[in-house]
Amino acid sequence: MPFLIGVCANVVAGGESGYLPKAADLLDGPVAGAKVVAKLSSKQSAEILVRKGSWTRIRTGNASGWVRTIDLRLDAPLQTAKPAPRAKSSSHSGIRGFSEEDLFSGSSAPVAMDRLKHPGISAKDAAVFARSAGLKARKRDYFEGGDYITLDLPDDFFDE
């Protein structure tokens, strides 16, 4: 039933691999309390098969099963680009990026910004796209400060 899997989970196409930074249990289902298939040791390498919510199905040696996605680190992809110079971004207090690694030298030559407008996608176009993609708008609040003070983070939460 490959179609069904495609609908409910993210099938990983091209032989993705990773490792476990810490020892973890390999479970036979994507639920807490599922049967333990194997005990995996730290630095154990794994082939990534499928993602589903907070879970990832992996294969290690002969065994396959589920671990929490957070307990996995992916292997670094082959690097084609040289690392960009860092920390230049600090001078732009107005810029907020996904990563601190900076792309741009901040040359003063203005880029042709009119090309940015070219796709000209309106809110209506976006709604048409969403309908055809089967995406439905849903309502909910952001997670505000009060929500995560209650998170029970263990002592070694950030250790690897």
Partner 1 sequence: MNKRLSVAVALVFVLVAGCGVSRGPSSEQMRAQQEMMQQQMQMRTDELETQMREMQEKMETANQPRERATTAENEASANPDLARQRREQMQEAKRQREESLREMRSDPDTMQALEEHKKMMRANPSGVQSEFNLGDREEAALGLEMAASLLGDQKLVEDPALAQYVNRVGMWVAQQSERPGLPWQFGVIDSDSVNAFAVPGGYVFVTRGMLGLLESESELAGVLGHEISHVVRKHHLRWIYMNRDMQASSSRAKASIRKFNPKMLGEFDRMDRLMAQQAAFMNSGPMRANLTRSEEMQADNDGAVLAWRAGYECWGLVSALQRFEAWQRPRRDATPAKVADHPEPIQRLKMLDATLRSRPEKETLGEVGDERYLGATRVIKSAAN
Q: Tell me how far apart the 2 most distant CA atoms of the chain are, in Å.
A: 61
What are the CA-CA distances from residue 105 to residues 48, 101, 146 (Å)?
37, 12, 39
Residue type (1 letter), 51:
R
User: Residues touching partner 1: how many (CB under 8 A)?
Assistant: 86
Contact flag: residue 4 with partner 1 (CB under 8 A) = no
Interaction residues for partner 1, span 70-109 (CB under 8 A)? 70, 72-77, 79-81, 83-84, 86-87, 89-90, 92-101, 103-109
* Residue 129 is a binding residue for partner 1 (CB under 8 A): yes
Interface pick for partner 1 out of 10, 41, 42, 45 (rule CB under 8 A): 10
Characterize 57-94 residue by residue with b for buried, 16 or more Cβ atoms within 10 angstroms of its Cβ, and e for exposed.
bbebeeebbbbebebbeeeeeeeeeeeeeeeebeeeee
Neighbours of 44 (CB within 10 A): 20
Between 15 and 62, name the residue whose CB sits nearer to partner 1.
15
Identity of the residue, 4 or 159, whose beta carbon is nearer to partner 1 in the bound complex: 159
Is there binding between residue 12 and partner 1 (CB under 8 A)? yes
Residues numbered 25-64 forming contacts with partner 1, rule: CB under 8 A: 51, 53-54
